[in-house]
Amino acid sequence: MRRSILALAATVAAGSAQAGIIDLGSMMGNANIYTIKNFSARSSDVEGAVVAGGNVDISSYSINANNKDAYGNYALVAGGSVKLKGGSIDNGKMYAGGGADLQWAAQPERASEKPIDFVASAAYYQALSGDLAKVQGTGIVSTLWGGAVVSGSGLGGVDVFNVSADMFRTSHSWTLDKLVKGQTLIFNISGANATFNDGGVSFEALKDYNVLFNFPDAVTLNVKGIIGSVLAPNATVSADWGVINGQVIVDTWNSTIQVNSNHYFTPVNLAGFRDAPPIVIPDKPIVVEPDPADVPEPGTLALMFAGVGMAVAARRVRRVPPPACA
């Protein structure tokens, strides 16, 4: 009966708007950088933790100086081998699925337990980026005298902007309109080869917002000098110099860009979005549970259960035998 009621509730609510959580950090343990494949860097640093699905090869480089661990106590997680020549891995454990060769550096505590499923995490971020790109925009980005004008809905909450990478490539200024400080700004940025902020514009205007730059199409990505988190699960970052203030998810990292452990993306609910495909648990009975965001309003529930009551009553009426003939 419970399953039937839930199925009926899903049918009744099917025409209403759905809301899903956009969660950038949980799958990677809230690391500063996550790469699906290899991570390599020279003469720079990432202030928080690093999680890499492939090999890590760094020199004159520091990781997690600001003690922002992943999964509670990991400074570095690598699915493959780790090579470090000069620098440091600070304030947490290191896991290496392959060998570890650390020269001219302190030896961090080695962990034997891998805290992440790299296959599942890669699929999660690819689905997250692709599904997010399908969400209809609520605001627009236009140009004015060589600058970018970002106009929101005026409602606060979450605003989504769908825009070409060329819009931000050479912009020299920002103009913000109809935005509420503290709200979430999501930029879906199209383009296979995205050079972002080539003009060196200051992103200081975005420091009071929860910002995510999503690059669903990018296979190469040059991002520097920005405030906000970056989601580009199919892209390789190979540009040198610059700063990213936020979390970074990419396919491959081979860059000297500095990544700072601030402006991490805060999870939010967004109507019309689903953050991941359904999770299948094998060899266990399926229990249909309603998503809290999908629970109908009280009026909808009343109509639903009224409908159920009428259906039950109708069945009982049909089962009453006809009166005997005189």
- Looking at residue 166, its pLDDT comes to 79
Amino acid at position 79, single letter: G
pTM: 0.78
pLDDT tens over the chain, length 326 residues: 433 333 333 332 333 344 699 999 999 999 999 999 999 999 999 999 999 999 999 999 999 999 999 999 999 999 999 999 999 999 999 999 999 999 999 899 999 999 999 999 999 999 999 999 999 999 999 888 878 899 999 999 999 999 988 777 777 778 899 999 999 999 999 999 887 766 667 788 899 999 999 999 999 998 878 899 999 999 999 988 889 999 999 999 999 999 999 999 999 999 888 744 443 334 433 333 444 444 444 444 343 344 444 444 444 444 445 445 44
CA-based diameter of the chain, in Å? 107
- Looking at residue 199, its pLDDT comes to 61
- 128 three-class SS: helix
Buried b (16+ CB within 10 A) or exposed e, 221-258: bbbbbbbbbbbbbbbbbebeebebbbbbbbbbbbbbbb
- Nearest CA to 32 out of 256, 229, 232 is that of 229
Nearest-10 crossing angle of helices 2-12, 298-319? 120
- Nearest CA to 18 out of 131, 186, 169 is that of 131
Number of neighbours of residue 138 by Cβ within 10 angstroms: 19
- Nearest CA to 164 out of 218, 211, 205 is that of 218
- Looking at residue 28, its pLDDT comes to 98
